[in-house]
Each structure stands twice: as C-alpha cells, then as structure tokens.
Structure 1
Amino acid sequence: MQKTNELVPCKFYHVYTRGNNSETVFVNQESYYYFLQLYRKYVAPFVHTYCYCLLPNHVHFLIQVKGAENLFKQSEQNQELLPVNIHRQWGHLLNAFTKALNTRYGRADSLFQKRFRRKEVTSEAYFTRLIFYIHFNPQHHGLIQDFKEWPYSSYHSLLSKKQTTLERDTVLEWFGGKNQLERFHQELTDFRSITPLIEEDEL
C-alpha cells in the first residue's frame, strides 16, 4: 500500500485535488458555497488559509498547518479533546461533499480522486507566485477572460473589508498593502518560474 505523507504542523502547503476522471464536481453556485462551508467546518479551524480557488473540476488552497498545540478537537460524545489528523480532516471534507451531491443527484460513484495532492511550499518566491497562480487559475484554463471576475476564489475577499477566515492581514502585509497586492496580480502574467511545481495541474 502506498504510504501517505502527512501534513506537518507549521509547514506551508499547496493543496489541490480534482474530480475523478476530471469530472465536474461543482454543478451550480450552491455547490461551490457548500464546499466552502464544509471547508470552514472540517479544515479551516486547524490551518491558516492564505488563498484558494474553486473551479468546475478542481480546487486549490494555499495553507499552513497550525502548530501541534492547536491540532485538537472536542469529542462529540463528551468534553474530551482529541488529536486532529489534518489529512483525515481533508478526507472528511471531500467525503461529506461527495455524500451530499450523491444524495442530491442520485449518484453512487466517487466524486474526487482517491488522494488529494499537496506540495510543500519551501520558499518565499514560491509562496508569493503561488498566490497569483491560484487566483489566475480560471483564466489560465480558459474559463474566463479576466480572473478577477471569477466569483469562487479568495481574490476579492483579500481586498475586501468584510469578515473572513482567510489570513487577510498576513497576505496584505506580505505584499505591502492592498494596492501592492492588486498591482502584483496585474503585472505578473508569467509564472514559468514555478511551472515545475504546478505541472500536474491540468483540466
């Protein structure tokens, strides 16, 4: 059996997965929002989320796993605190979403690939360009002419003042402010420098 590499506390990751056989997983607006709702339930409490993008048949997240002292959840049976395995939390998210859609639309098959993928983000340059790449993804795949018009990414949330679970302040500080974040997204149209790290991302 293939060994699963666990997500390690305090490390940064590009996490992504796609529909089984590139199948469409988000069939309407409601399904996009429901996925994010499940993300906030199963994964967000245990990671720092810097950006994300949901596309019809795949998803991208840039996260940092929280420190080991924060990786606990309360038992449903009592007040006992149980250790959390982030890999399993992602599995709970994908399984819950699949079960809901299968029930809603009379499906019976698996919806996502068996294993979600993740790559450790090991440099500041990779982190910076990955934020652009994730937001640019809908335009990269020809789904829309201007990625800024895609409604299912974190781009507008990072620029907004509305409440969010994203690490907005950290991202804005990283780029030097809101205007600098916008400018970076406008000026960077070439992400060949991280192509070897994202080459598996195909529709």
Structure 2
Amino acid sequence: MYIQPFIEGQYFHIYNRGVNGEDIFKEQRNYYYFIQQYIAYCGDVFETFAYALLKNHFHLLVYVKENVQEPKHNKQGMIQLNASKQLSHFFNSYAQSINKAHNRTGPLFESPFERKLVDDESYITSLIYYCHYNAQLHGFVKDFKDWEFSSYHSILKNDNSFLASQKVLDWFGGSAVFKKTHEGRYGKEEMKKFVIE
C-alpha cells in the first residue's frame, strides 16, 4: 500500500479512527488532552488550519512547515524534526494515556494513519467546511455549530493559540464570509465525495 510522504510547504488532510471503529475519545477530557498532546508533539512541524474530533475518528487540515529544526542541539548539531515521526510519537503518547486510564492494552488507532496531499485551492476551502460539518454529517449533533470539538468557533474568535485562524479568515475573505460559507454550503449528498473514513 502506497503511503503519501509529507512534503514541506504543502497542505495535508490527516485522518484516522479507532481500531475496529472503537471510540478514541472515551470521555470529555480526552478531547482536550488530544489537542494538548498534538500541540506538544506536532506544533513545531505543522500549521493547523482546521480540525474535527469525533468520538471514534478525527480530521486535521495542516500545512507542513518548511525547514523545521528543533531548538536544541545534539552531538550532530541541530535536530531536524520529521512530520511523520512527530505524529507517530503523538499517537503513541495519546494511546498510552488512554490505555492506562481505561485499563486497556494494544493499539488504539488504525495503522498506518491516513494522509492525503491537498493541492487544489478550492478543495482546501471545501475541506475546512467538511471538518466543521463532520459532527452533523455523522449525526452527533443536529447543527455542526453545536459540536464543541472542532475548530469552527476558535477560527471565528480568531484564536491563534495553535490554529492559523487569521490565515483561515483571510483565506475566506473575513469572518462574515467564513460564516456565510458555512451556511448550507453543501447538502448531505454533495458531502459524500469528501467522506473518506
């Protein structure tokens, strides 16, 4: 099976789900911990444009930063960070925490994690919408705006703590256009072309 390598300076859709469809978020605090660990392990290699965390799976739209180096030295000099390795460390850290807290063993995520190069500008716009609409698409809520664990509200608040919110708003042409674009952009049938989990 071909696995798309990460390319610096490119956008990627990263997604994965629990083994055999198992929930990867067992309780509310797990969502916050997932984001905390993601920032710790991946904040230096990715710029994050959108995300959705949904009980048994997640979606991330990221931009792979260029010429990333970890700000510490070893005997060989500066350490070059690797996006795939950082994600693997992140997934392992999160899975170990869930296993310990819930007395389970074995892998939590399907392996390998999925990633797709996004090299079309209109697809980036659609993918941001798709990430936010996902909770409604899967029936977790009637209105995606009621789902707490996506980047929709953080982007509207222009929260740049780990999201590239300002860049997303600029991409859409401002917060008003961002909101309008999210109002019924696609019907459920049209959204099926983006469903990949």
Q: Corresponding residue for 1:110?
A: 107
Taking only the aligned residue pairs, the percentage that are identical comes to: 34
Question: Structure 1: which amino acid aligns with 2:123?
Answer: Y
Q: Corresponding residue for 2:179?
A: 182
Measured after TM superposition, the shift of residue 164 of structure 1 is 2.0
Asked if 2 retains the 8 angstrom alpha-carbon contact of 1:126 and 1:194, the reply is no
Structure 1 residues 194 and 162, CA gap change in structure 2 (3 angstroms): closer
CA distance in structure 1 between the aligned counterparts of 2:185 and 2:116, rounded to whole angstroms: 22
CA distance in structure 1 between the aligned counterparts of 2:96 and 2:120, rounded to whole angstroms: 37
1:96 pairs with one of 87, 93, 101: 93
CA distance in structure 2 between the aligned counterparts of 1:3 and 1:174, rounded to whole angstroms: 31
TM-score between the two structures when normalised by the length of structure 1: 0.90
CA distance in structure 2 between the aligned counterparts of 1:163 and 1:120, rounded to whole angstroms: 24
Structure 1 residues 3 and 186, CA gap change in structure 2 (3 angstroms): closer
Measured after TM superposition, the shift of residue 4 of structure 1 is 3.8
Q: Corresponding residue for 2:134?
A: 137
CA distance in structure 2 between the aligned counterparts of 1:195 and 1:147, rounded to whole angstroms: 16
Question: Structure 2: which amino acid aligns with 1:42?
Answer: Y
Residue ranges of structure 1 left out of the alignment (5+ in a row): none
Q: Corresponding residue for 1:122?
A: 119
Question: Structure 1: which amino acid aligns with 2:29?
Answer: E
Structure 1 residues 74 and 137, CA gap change in structure 2 (3 angstroms): same
Number of residue pairs matched by the alignment: 197
What is the 5 A alignment of 1:26-45?
A: 26-45=25-44
Structure 1 residues 88 and 192, CA gap change in structure 2 (3 angstroms): farther
SS of the residue corresponding to residue 186 of structure 1 reads coil
Residue ranges of structure 2 left out of the alignment (5+ in a row): none
Measured after TM superposition, the shift of residue 176 of structure 1 is 0.9
Q: Corresponding residue for 1:59?
A: 58
CA distance in structure 1 between the aligned counterparts of 2:97 and 2:17, rounded to whole angstroms: 17
CA distance in structure 2 between the aligned counterparts of 1:20 and 1:31, rounded to whole angstroms: 17
Question: Structure 1: which amino acid aligns with 2:53?
Answer: L
